[in-house]
């Protein structure tokens, strides 16, 4: 869970997907992006996060030792369930100048059931991890966000073009793993079967994009 904090008026707001939220003084604002994980924040906003498992009965019934082990695995540290965003390497906060929004336009390109590539297609200036106008980031997918298992031909083409170019030209093992992990649960709404969109090359035995029939 991401919480918006305004250092001017000290107001705190929970970020949500369906609306842009402002602090009391209007100098800080933000909203979750469409992937339900990354967020656009504007003005002087700061963000801190609370791990979602913190609110579950299962987590609260763990022993101290079990909680530390869990935090280490999923948060990278064993000591706290709450932390400030904008740490070095943070890829989930997209900063814009205006506290009034609106959130950045993005494309969501799933890698597998656990990760997405977020491609920013907005023309405004923004910062991610203190770097200006980063074109895309790789982030966890939100397991509570149920996306459709039907892909359009355009999404098929976008996913293939981006992932093939960025990740799989030189890494055959990762290439195969992506195909198996991602495509098994999904199908194209035009072809109805993924085999029509993708297949193996008879010469290289690598997966190739075949287009739509």
Q: pTM (2 decimals)?
A: 0.68
Q: How does pLDDT run across 170-204, given as a tens digit for each residue?
A: 455 555 555 555 554 455 666 655 556 666 666 65
Mean pLDDT within 81-91: 90
Q: Looking at the predicted structure, is the pLDDT value of residue 155 above 60? A: yes
pLDDT grade for 91, boundaries at 50, 70 and 90: very high
Query: Which tokens sit at 57?
Result: 């009965």
Number of H helices and number of E strands within the chain? Answer: 5, 17
Instruction: Give every CB contact of residue 90 below 8 A, 6+ residues apart in sequence.
Output: 128, 129
Could you write out the DSSP letters of every residue in 112-153? Answer: SSSEEEEEE---S--EETTEET--EEEEE--TTS---SEE-H
Q: Do β-strands 131-132 and 127-128 pair in parallel, antiparallel, or remain unpaired?
A: antiparallel
Instruction: Give every CB contact of residue 66 below 8 A, 6+ residues apart in sequence.
Output: none
Name which residue leads in pLDDT, 110 or 65: 65
């Amino acid at each position: 869970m991401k919480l918006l904090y305004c250092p001017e008026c000290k107001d705190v707001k929970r970020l949500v997907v369906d609306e842009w939220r402002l602090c009391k003084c209007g100098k800080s604002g933000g909203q979750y992006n469409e992937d339900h994980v990354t967020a656009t924040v504007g003005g002087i906003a700061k963000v801190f996060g609370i791990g979602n498992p913190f609110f579950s009965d299962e987590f609260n019934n763990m022993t101290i030792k079990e909680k530390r082990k869990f935090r280490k695995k999923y948060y990278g540290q064993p000591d706290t369930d709450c932390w400030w965003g904008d740490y070095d390497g943070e890829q989930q906060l997209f900063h814009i100048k205006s506290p009034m929004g609106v959130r950045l336009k993005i494309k969501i390109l799933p890698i597998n059931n656990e990760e997405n590539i977020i491609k920013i297609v907005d023309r405004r200036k923004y910062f991610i991890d203190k770097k200006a106008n980063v074109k895309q980031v790789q982030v966890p997918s939100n397991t509570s966000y149920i996306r459709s298992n039907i892909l359009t031909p355009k999404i098929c083409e976008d996913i293939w073009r981006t992932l093939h170019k960025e990740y799989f030209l030189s890494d055959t093992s990762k290439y195969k793993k992506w195909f198996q992990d991602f495509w098994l649960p999904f199908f194209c709404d035009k072809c109805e079967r993924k085999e029509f969109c993708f297949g193996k090359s008879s010469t290289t035995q690598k997966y190739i994009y075949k287009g739509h029939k």
